[in-house]
Amino acid sequence: MLKCPRSPHIVCPRDVNNEKKKVAYKPARGSRKRAGTRLVLVNHQRGVRVDTSLLRRIGVLALPHCSNKRGEFKSVLSSLSVVEVAIVSDAVISAVHRQFLNGDSSTDVITFPYGEVVISAETASFNSGFYGHSPTIEIAFCLIHGLLHLSGYSDHTTLQADKMKRRQIRILKWCIKNCR
C-alpha cells in the first residue's frame, strides 16, 4: 500500500493491475438514485500504463459524490445522460487546449460542459511521480476534478481551488476504500 502525499489519509493499492474485485455501490449521503448517467472511459494513448478497469470503478463510484453537492456555478452533471472520459497523450491534449481554450501548453485535464473530460496520461504520470502514487490514481484524481467542474465547481481563485481540491481528496479517498 502507498500513502498519497496530497492526503496522508488516502491509501493506494500497490498492484491494482491484476486485481478483480466486486464493487458494492453505496450512494453518497443526500444523493438521489440517478438512472441514466453513464460513464464511458476510453484510453486513446499507449505511452502510460493505465488500469482502465480501476478508473471506471472509481468514476462510477465518484459520480453520485460529485453530483450530490453543487459548486458555485450551474451544474450540468445531473442533466447529462453520459459522461465521456478520454485518456490521451500530451500532444493531443495540447492540441485540444490550443483549439478550444487558446492555451499554449499541455495540461492535466480539460472539461467540456457537454460532458466530455479529456485527461493527459503523460502529465498525470509526471504529476504522480511528484505526489508519490501511481499514474492511474492521478488520472482518477483528474477524473474527479472534471466531474466536479461538471457539478459547478470552479478553480479560478485560490479559495475555489482549495475547496475543490479538498472535495476531490475526500471523494478519491472514499472511492479507493470502496473499490476493493
pLDDT of residue 66: 87
pLDDT of residue 27: 42
pLDDT tens-digit series, residues 52-98:
999 999 999 999 888 766 667 778 888 899 999 999 999 999 999 99
The residue ranking higher by pLDDT, 35 or 100, is 100
Q: Do the bridges between strand 38-43 and strand 82-88 make them parallel or antiparallel, or are there none, so unpaired?
A: parallel
pLDDT of residue 153: 92
Question: 18-27, 41-50, 134-143 — which is least confidently predicted?
Answer: 18-27
* Rounded Cα gap, residues 168 and 146, in angstroms: 10
Domains and CATH numbers, the chain: 35-178 (3.40.390.30)
pLDDT of residue 103: 83
The residue ranking higher by pLDDT, 131 or 85, is 85
With contact defined as beta carbons under 8 Å apart, do 110 and 118 qualify? yes
Most confident of the ranges 22-31, 35-44, 117-126: 117-126
The residue ranking higher by pLDDT, 131 or 29, is 131
pLDDT of residue 3: 39
Does residue 47 register a pLDDT over 80?
Answer: yes
Cβ partners under 8 Å of residue 99, min gap 6: none
pLDDT of residue 70: 67
* Rounded Cα gap, residues 63 and 44, in angstroms: 22
* Rounded Cα gap, residues 179 and 25, in angstroms: 9
